Structure formats: structure tokens, C-alpha cells
A and B are shown apart, each in its own frame.
Chain A
């Protein structure tokens, strides 16, 4: 029998070939359909052209959004007339991060829309609701957010415009994310017209993940990393004498507020945030290699996060001229960064060089409190070597011990960080106050990034806010 089959196939090799070809083609097609439908399910469901969304909304009550401790951040209730109303118990507090679900969607409301409009309630409950003619309860989304930290951060920012990001470096959990000015998501429909007409303060922008700012002196973290990378054995021998300014190609860089730092080494240049010394360091770098380092640090690309974020920009290559290079070295010029990316780089330093992807949604559960979906901490990769991270950590500890962030010195925990005062606009002297850092330095648990728009020096304005958040975290 076998030989017979062999003979037949041998004689009709061409037909067999075509048969195999089509069979493989269809296996490919089936594989493609399966892969496509599974990987695009959520994305396609949220497309506004997809009418299925409306059907689910009509069938299920939108699920709740909760903080890590179970506090309700958003829920749908029925008003006295029996109409559905989305309620945000903390009003303005989570306006950007939790977002809103009418007039478009934003924040977790947008990111978790798929889960919120689906219902995995038990069949028995659904059957009972069918009988009483009620809607099914949508699934609840538990976030990683901490109400206390969010409150402290928001209060600390006060009336300033700016943003705060608080994360766990070893997991990537976002504990707090504040953007000011804020708004009350319950009133979004009423204030919508005002909000979108007001392009001055751009209230709807989540400054924490979408705001693009000049990094100022916080960029010296990146500069220091590249210098250590290019001079791994000799960087500690670096010496420079600061006269308060440095000039190349008719371009002049000054130290902040006209300071003159005198003789500085590498560690002191960083701790005192000496602009002239870092311009000097920047000029010595291999610009091609530096460009690669910047891209590896997630500049010029979409961040690996599931929520809305903007792309931070800085371009350095062989073609970068000296005057531009000096501007880049102190985080000015065309360089821009989101508080989120600065926080991620800081987290990588705190976590032995490994970046965990920041995430906001911890798990989703149905009305019977069974978990439908759990999001585990997800490693992005190594942003820098462990010894590089250790060296940067040492520099950042010195910033607290003897540098610009001394307001964090002598506390029950040891903090590490870097300040920045990023000049913006045309008026000389106006600057955004930055701080990014973590604590405890020995075994970092929490990472805080603060920006206050137009406040002044980072050490004076941003560091105290970071301190209040650290205090709240460590319960002191």
C-alpha cells in the first residue's frame, strides 16, 4: 500500500506540490486571523467607529476604578431620576490620572475602557439581573495608586502649575501622579468648552506623562552616565576650574545665578550642579556614542507604558556643533523631557540599572471579586550597567549630603537625587524647579520626580515637595 501511494505521489509531484502550497497558505491564514484577533481585541473595541462599544455600554453598568487600598476613585451611580452618573469621590485629586469618560476619554478611564464596559459577572447574577431588568455590573479596575501619597503630592504643589510622579523602582507601580492645574471630572461636560478654549494653561494635559520641559540640570545625570561610560577608570580623576562661565564659538554658558565654583572634581561638579564644568565635560564626549546612549535611555521614542505619554526629544550626533553641545550638556536648548521619563531613568539608577515598565492598572476583578486579569511587574530591560548605576547613585547621594538638595539631609531615611533649575522662555532668570530622586538610598523603595513651573531653583522649591512625599511614604 505504501509503495502504491509513493508511486502515485511521484507521478503527480506537481499536484502534490500545489496541495501542500495551499494547505500551508491556509495554515498561515488561520494563524494570522487568530493572532490578529487576539492581539487587537482591546484596541479595536475602543475605536469610535466600532458600534459594539455602544451595545456593551447599554448592557453593562460601567465598572468602578479603585485605588490600591480599595478606595473608590470613580463609580457609576443612579441619580434620583434613575439616570446614570459617573461619580468621582475625590473630585479634582485624580483628575488627570483617572481621567474622565464623557466628552471623549482620558487616563485610566480611557486605558481600561475595555475592562470597564465588559462584565464578567457570574452567570447566576446575570440571570437574576435579566429577570429584574437591570444592567450587569461592569468589571472593577484596581489601580496601583495610593490615595494618601496623591493627596500629599497635590497639596504640596499647592497653587503652582507642575507635576509629580511617584513610583516603585523595583516593580514599576505608579503610586501617585499629579498634574496641576487640575479640574473636576464630574463637571467635565459643563467646563468642556472653557477647557479646550484655554490654550494658555492647557489644563487637560497630563503634565506628568505628557508635559515636555527642558530638563535643566537634572540632565547632568545623563551627562555623568555618558562620561563614566567613556572614561570608566579615569572619571574620578576629572578636574576643572570654574570661573563662572565658559565660551565656545561665541556661545557662553554661565553657572546658575552667576555662581563661581572654583576648582571642582567630577563628584563636586555634579553635587554643586556646575554648568561650566558640565559644558566642558559635554565637549569632551564622543557625540555619536552619546546619541546612542540617549536613544537607549528612551529619548526620541514612545515610552513603553500603556497610558498616554509624549516623546522626549534630544538630538546629538557627529554633526552637533560645539555651541549646541554645550546647551545640551546643561539640559537647555531644544532638549525636552517628560517628568515620567526622568522618573523612569531615576528608577533604573535606583534598581541596579534595570527599568521596570511603569504601570497603573494592577488587576481587574468581576462583581464576585474574582480576578479577571492581573498585570504583573514587567521588566523593560537594562538602561545601564550595575556599576554605572552604583556610581550615579553615589553622585546623587552627595547632592543630598553636600550639594543642592541639602534640605533632604539628616532625615530618618537617606535620600538621593538631583535638582534642576531649567530656564525657559526669553526672560533670563525664570526657571522651572526640578527634583528627581529616591529613598532609602541603600535599598530604594520609592522614586519621586517633581517639577514646578516657573518657581525658581529646584533646591529651594522642588526638594521640599519631594521631602513631604518621602515623609508621607515612610510615615514620619
Chain B
């Protein structure tokens, strides 16, 4: 019986995630949130079915029915999140909420299987963070002074990182965290968000050479502090996010090129100067020759990824715990082993769909501060995903960052939840902008009606001339941006 359940469920789980992933991209066929409602509901059903199947397998495999209670708690919390977002923020983007819950659910499943205590801890932190995150869209939406706080962001950010550099606990060669009242924080996670806000607030009004230069100094300070703390993964994230945000703000390809060249140069210097960078690169190029030492983690990870096949070995059937720190840095490999390559690829695609939705929101925002913020957070998210999955699969050298929502780690979960909540806030700002434009247009139409006929003709001619010029202009009057959508 147990055998039939675990064999059968492998295919069911693979099917559920494939359908879910399909729906993730199907939403982009529609422009309006209302048209997507059917998809979102289907996604919720698929998600609950998948979550339940996973826990059913865990119960069968371990013979311990108490896992179902843990599942029930998770299900209640995730369901509450979905319902609360809809109630509190009727205009929220449901794809972002769904993906958030789906990724959390996958994380809970694999963590429960790997280490029950860590899973419970993660669940408690995630639940608390979800509550905190619930108020964030409101703040983002209502507090318009956020764009004025650039000095606060940069000073708090550098201060938090510096404290770790000086006082932090060294974990496996890197200073990542410090403890207050028994709770361990990893500030580089939170500072990522502050940093995005900082760059957005510094560049939204004007992005001339002076602004780029001052932000470069600030970004450099962040990166240097992180490099000294040997947190290379985070340093890389800050750097890439900065370069891409400057590129989008200035629309200047020179900065992109300079950033890439500068980054390559810095990477080369880091490689020559720091032995731990050399060790990482060596372990990436040929982990087999150092399989006993630096290559151990990555080779164990490759064993895991290659052992699952398309549909995986089944939950609890593999041995992902052979990989050191599997629950943080290598959770993707554990998923590939037990859920299979098909599932792993779907997981990647779900992350990409989150990113595309962020970019979609960013593109439609008229206010440059919010646009840059959405863009910066999207890049932070997706680049981190890239570093952790690419690093664990020998695609790129290992940097040791977490897979957002799925890896074990309180700071990581809280930060990512806040990030997604900020995006929800920005999404509502975009809805406001749209509403204002609609009102503006109604006003305009009313005025037009009042005008006399000859005047109207004149108006039309001038409008036509305006249309012609549009192609070359970069700035539009607000009213022209959004046309009839309804």
C-alpha cells in the first residue's frame, strides 16, 4: 500500500506542479486582473492538492500520522494569507500571493522531510513574518514620503552591515549574522531591500553623473563591507542590482558596459587576492579533483540532482541529507532528488514567473521611484535565485545564498515576504495611477464637449501633431500613457 502511494504520488505531484506552472504563464495572456480570476482559483486548488499529496506521502513513508497536524496548521495559515490579502487588499495581485504561498508550501514539505525541528521553526517564523508583511502594502501605498528617505536607507544599511562585520558571528568562514536576545539576524538580507529603496530614491528625480557617482560610492561601501565579511554572494547581489538599476534609471548603455567591465575587473582582483575565492572557483571548475575537501558539497549536490530522474525518487526515498547544509544552500538539489527534474524545472519557472510579474508591474508604473523600486526588488529576487540554483548545480561557482521562501532561514523568509509585500503595495499604486488617469481623461472629455465646434477641430489637429511627435519623445504627458483598457 505504502509503495503504491509513494509511486503513484510521484506522478500526481509532477502533474500538479506542471499544471500550476502552466497557469503561472497563462496569466500573462490577460491584461486585467479580473480576467485572471479563474486561473488564480485553479492555482489555489492545485497548490492545496500538491501540499496535501506531499504530506500524505510523508505520513505513509514515516508511518507517523502526526505530520498531518503540522500540515493542517500550514494549510490554515496559507489559506488565511490568501483570503486576507483578498479581503484587505481587493486590488492585490493574486499571482504574487499564490506563488508566495506555493513556494512556502514546497519549502515546508521538503524541510519537514529533511528536519522536522527546523521545519517547525521555519513555519513559526514564516507565520509571524506573514503577519508583519500583511501591513506592508498599506504603508507602501499610503506613505508617500518613502521616496524622501534616501539618507536613512543608506546609513541604516551600512551601519547594519558594519555591525556584523565588526561584531558578527563567523559561520564557516563568513561573518553573516549577530544575535540579539537569542534571535539570530542576518542583516545582509534586510539591507537588500533598504538598498533598493536607497538607489530608487537617489535616482528617481534626476540621474545625471553626479547622482550616479554618489550612489556608486554608497553601493561600493555596501559591497566592500560585505566582501570584508566574506559574504560574497550578497556582495554580488548588491553589485548587480546597483548596475542594473542605474542602467534602467539613466537608460545609458555606457553605465551598463562600465558596470560589467568594472565587475569583471573586481571579480578578477578578488580571485587573485582572496584564497577562499580561489577555492570556490577551483571547486566549480573541477570539483572531482578536490572531492574530499572543497568539492565535497558540490559533488554531493550533483549526486543528488542526477539520482532523481524525471520524477524523482519520491519524498523520503532519497538521501539528500548527505549534502552538508542541504536545508539552506542546497535545498534545490534535495528537491531535484526527491521530486525529480521535471518538478525542479517547474520550480525554476515559477520563480521566473514571479520575476516577470514584478517587471510587468514595474513597466506600468509611471512614478519613477516606484518603478525603480519594483525593478530593483525583482532583480534582487531573481538574481539570488540564480546564484543559489546555479551554484548548487555547478552552473556557476558556489556563493552560498539561500533559495528565497524555500531554504531554511528566518531572515531570508522574512526579507522575501517583505519584498513580495512591497511589490503588492506598488501594484496598488499602479492601480491608483490608472484610476487617476481615467479620471483625468473623463475631465478632458467633459471639457472637450463644452468647447465650440471650430475650437474642437483645432484641438484635434494639435492632438494629431502630438501623436506624430510621440515616437521620438521620451516623456509623455501623464494623460496619454494609459489608453482605453476597459
The distance in angstroms between the C-alpha atoms of A126 and B271, with both chains bound, is 52
Q: Which residues of A contact B244 (CB under 8 A)?
A: 18
The distance in angstroms between the C-alpha atoms of A44 and B291, with both chains bound, is 13
Contact of A1 among B2, B31, B345, B348 (CB under 8 A): B31
User: Is the beta-carbon distance between B2 and A130 smaller than 8 angstroms?
Assistant: yes
Q: Which residues of A contact B362 (CB under 8 A)?
A: 12, 15
User: Is the beta-carbon distance between A19 and B355 smaller than 8 angstroms?
Assistant: yes
Q: Which residues of A contact B355 (CB under 8 A)?
A: 19, 22-23
User: Is the beta-carbon distance between B2 and A14 smaller than 8 angstroms?
Assistant: no
User: Is the beta-carbon distance between A123 and B322 smaller than 8 angstroms?
Assistant: no
B359 interface residue per 8 A CB criterion: yes
| Chain B 443-474 residues near chain A, CB threshold 8 A | 470, 474
The distance in angstroms between the C-alpha atoms of A46 and B247, with both chains bound, is 48
Q: List the one stretch of B130-138, B170-178, B389-397 in contact with chain A.
A: B389-397
Closest A residue to B321 by CB, please name it: A51
User: Is the beta-carbon distance between A15 and B318 smaller than 8 angstroms?
Assistant: no
A306 to chain B, nearest CB (A): 18
* Known A41-B307, A127-B4: A18·B319 in contact at CB below 8 Å: no
* Known A4-B483, A32-B395, A52-B303: A130·B3 in contact at CB below 8 Å: yes
B453 to chain A, nearest CB (A): 28
A65 to chain B, nearest CB (A): 23
User: Is the beta-carbon distance between A33 and B336 smaller than 8 angstroms?
Assistant: yes
User: Is the beta-carbon distance between A52 and B299 smaller than 8 angstroms?
Assistant: no
B72 interface residue per 8 A CB criterion: no
B110 interface residue per 8 A CB criterion: no
The distance in angstroms between the C-alpha atoms of A378 and B42, with both chains bound, is 48
B393 to chain A, nearest CB (A): 5
A428 interface residue per 8 A CB criterion: no
Q: Which residues of A contact B351 (CB under 8 A)?
A: 26
| Chain A 1-56 residues near chain B, CB threshold 8 A | 1, 3-5, 7-9, 11-16, 18-19, 22-23, 25-26, 29-30, 32-34, 36-38, 40-41, 44-45, 47, 49-52, 55
The distance in angstroms between the C-alpha atoms of A23 and B3, with both chains bound, is 38
The distance in angstroms between the C-alpha atoms of A133 and B242, with both chains bound, is 60
Contact of B3 among A5, A15, A49, A123 (CB under 8 A): A123
Closest B residue to A22 by CB, please name it: B382
* Known A9-B363, A29-B386, A44-B303: A22·B352 in contact at CB below 8 Å: yes
B302 interface residue per 8 A CB criterion: yes
B26 interface residue per 8 A CB criterion: no
> Which of B4, B251, B352: most chain A Cβ within 10 A?
B352
Closest B residue to A25 by CB, please name it: B386
Q: Which residues of A contact B107 (CB under 8 A)?
A: none
Q: Which residues of B contact A55 (CB under 8 A)?
A: 319
A133 to chain B, nearest CB (A): 13
> Which of A22, A34, A40: most chain B Cβ within 10 A?
A22
* Known A29-B395, A40-B306: A123·B483 in contact at CB below 8 Å: no
Q: Which residues of A contact B386 (CB under 8 A)?
A: 22, 25-26, 29
The distance in angstroms between the C-alpha atoms of A127 and B4, with both chains bound, is 8
* Known A19-B359, A22-B352, A123-B4: A32·B393 in contact at CB below 8 Å: yes
Chain B 228-260 interface 0/1 with A at a Cβ cutoff of 8 Å (1 = within): 000000000000000010011001000000000
The distance in angstroms between the C-alpha atoms of A38 and B4, with both chains bound, is 25
The distance in angstroms between the C-alpha atoms of A153 and B352, with both chains bound, is 62
The distance in angstroms between the C-alpha atoms of A461 and B302, with both chains bound, is 52
User: Is the beta-carbon distance between B305 and A12 smaller than 8 angstroms?
Assistant: no
B218 interface residue per 8 A CB criterion: no
Chain B 368-406 interface 0/1 with A at a Cβ cutoff of 8 Å (1 = within): 000100010001001100100110011100000000000
Chain A 144-169 interface 0/1 with B at a Cβ cutoff of 8 Å (1 = within): 00000000000000000000000000
B: contact size bracket: 35 or more
User: Is the beta-carbon distance between B306 and A36 smaller than 8 angstroms?
Assistant: yes
Q: Which residues of A contact B394 (CB under 8 A)?
A: 36
Q: Which residues of A contact B306 (CB under 8 A)?
A: 36-37, 40-41, 44-45
User: Is the beta-carbon distance between B319 and A37 smaller than 8 angstroms?
Assistant: no
Contact of A33 among B251, B305, B482 (CB under 8 A): B305
User: Is the beta-carbon distance between A29 and B348 smaller than 8 angstroms?
Assistant: yes
Q: Which residues of A contact B389 (CB under 8 A)?
A: 29, 33
Q: Which residues of A contact B299 (CB under 8 A)?
A: 47, 49
User: Is the beta-carbon distance between B336 and A12 smaller than 8 angstroms?
Assistant: no
B341 interface residue per 8 A CB criterion: yes
B344 interface residue per 8 A CB criterion: yes
A: contact size bracket: 35 or more
Chain B 28-64 interface 0/1 with A at a Cβ cutoff of 8 Å (1 = within): 0001000000000000000000000000000000000
Q: Tally inter-chain residue pairs, CB-CB below 8 A.
A: 130
User: Is the beta-carbon distance between B356 and A23 smaller than 8 angstroms?
Assistant: yes
Closest A residue to B392 by CB, please name it: A33
Q: Which residues of B contact A49 (CB under 8 A)?
A: 291, 296, 299-300, 303
Contact of A19 among B7, B341, B356, B482 (CB under 8 A): B356
Closest B residue to A13 by CB, please name it: B251
B342 to chain A, nearest CB (A): 9
B147 interface residue per 8 A CB criterion: no
Closest A residue to B365 by CB, please name it: A12
B309 interface residue per 8 A CB criterion: yes
Contact of B352 among A26, A44, A47, A50 (CB under 8 A): A26
The distance in angstroms between the C-alpha atoms of A5 and B352, with both chains bound, is 20
Closest B residue to A32 by CB, please name it: B395
User: Is the beta-carbon distance between B305 and A36 smaller than 8 angstroms?
Assistant: yes
B481 interface residue per 8 A CB criterion: yes
B361 to chain A, nearest CB (A): 10
Q: Which residues of B contact A14 (CB under 8 A)?
A: 247-248, 251
Closest A residue to B317 by CB, please name it: A55
Q: Which residues of B contact A33 (CB under 8 A)?
A: 305, 336, 341, 344-345, 348, 389, 393, 395
Q: Which residues of B contact A5 (CB under 8 A)?
A: 31
Closest A residue to B482 by CB, please name it: A4
Q: Which residues of B contact A41 (CB under 8 A)?
A: 306-307, 309
B288 to chain A, nearest CB (A): 8
A4 to chain B, nearest CB (A): 5
B309 to chain A, nearest CB (A): 7
Chain B 335-349 interface 0/1 with A at a Cβ cutoff of 8 Å (1 = within): 010000100110011
Q: Which residues of B contact A34 (CB under 8 A)?
A: 341, 345
B364 interface residue per 8 A CB criterion: yes
| Chain B 49-90 residues near chain A, CB threshold 8 A | none
| Chain B 148-163 residues near chain A, CB threshold 8 A | none
Closest A residue to B474 by CB, please name it: A11
The distance in angstroms between the C-alpha atoms of A9 and B363, with both chains bound, is 7
B410 interface residue per 8 A CB criterion: no
User: Is the beta-carbon distance between B248 and A18 smaller than 8 angstroms?
Assistant: yes
The distance in angstroms between the C-alpha atoms of A3 and B2, with both chains bound, is 56
A29 to chain B, nearest CB (A): 6
User: Is the beta-carbon distance between A16 and B363 smaller than 8 angstroms?
Assistant: yes
Closest B residue to A54 by CB, please name it: B319
The distance in angstroms between the C-alpha atoms of A7 and B3, with both chains bound, is 56
The distance in angstroms between the C-alpha atoms of A313 and B43, with both chains bound, is 62
User: Is the beta-carbon distance between B363 and A15 smaller than 8 angstroms?
Assistant: yes
B308 interface residue per 8 A CB criterion: yes
Interface of B toward A, CB cutoff 8 Å: 1-4, 7, 31, 244, 247-248, 251, 291, 296, 299-300, 302-303, 305-309, 318-319, 322, 336, 341, 344-345, 348-349, 351-352, 355-356, 359, 362-364, 371, 375, 379, 382-383, 386, 389-390, 393-395, 470, 474, 476, 481-483, 485
Interface of A toward B, CB cutoff 8 Å: 1, 3-5, 7-9, 11-16, 18-19, 22-23, 25-26, 29-30, 32-34, 36-38, 40-41, 44-45, 47, 49-52, 55, 123, 126-127, 130
Q: Told that A11-B474, A23-B352 touch, could you supply 10 new A-B pairs with CB distance under 8 A? A: A3-B483, A15-B359, A19-B355, A19-B359, A22-B386, A37-B306, A40-B306, A45-B303, A52-B319, A130-B2
Q: What are 11 contact pairs spanning A and B, CB under 8 A?
A: A8-B363, A12-B362, A13-B251, A25-B386, A26-B382, A33-B341, A36-B302, A36-B393, A44-B302, A123-B3, A130-B2
Of all A-B residue pairs in the complex, the 5 with the closest CB atoms, nearest first, are A19-B359, A50-B303, A37-B306, A44-B306, A12-B363
